Structure 1
């Protein structure tokens, strides 16, 4: 899955659109106070939380497909209570 397919899958799963930011596929202005992100980084893809005005890389993946699968797992399959 790519980031455009991830956007559709997360929204279909009922994840709030404010809960995530996907590079060039799903971005907000103004930026919400906290969310999970997916973006290119260091020759691959990174995911992590944006909290208190800072991006914090949590995991790095070699491919977009690996990163999108991981973020879908976090947000749609194991959402916070």
Structure 2
């Protein structure tokens, strides 16, 4: 699963579009106050976390985009991805 597939899967699962940001794929403007995010990190890794109260809180780091996308999908929907 890549970021584009993740965005489509989250929307299909009924996750409100304003509740998540996926770098270069799904970004709302202006950004909401609180949201989940997936972005590339500083060490060629992928970060997933929550933006709350003006702070980015990285909850998990992954070596691959696919692993990060699967984790975010499971976290936001409660359903594991294939």
**TM class, shorter-length:** over 0.9
Structure 2: state its 5+ residue gaps: none
- Give the TM-score taking structure 2 as reference length: 0.91
Superposition RMSD in Å = 0.9
- Give the TM-score taking structure 1 as reference length: 0.92
- Residue 53 of structure 1, CA deviation: 1.1
Equivalenced residues, count: 78
Any runs of at least 4 consecutive aligned residues in structure 1 with deviations exceeding 6 A, and if so which?
A: none
Structure 1: state its 5+ residue gaps: none
Instruction: Find the counterpart in structure 2 of residue 36 from structure 1.
Output: 36
Deviation string 1:16-68 (CA, Å, 9 cap, x unpaired) is: 00110000000011110101000000211000000011111111000000000
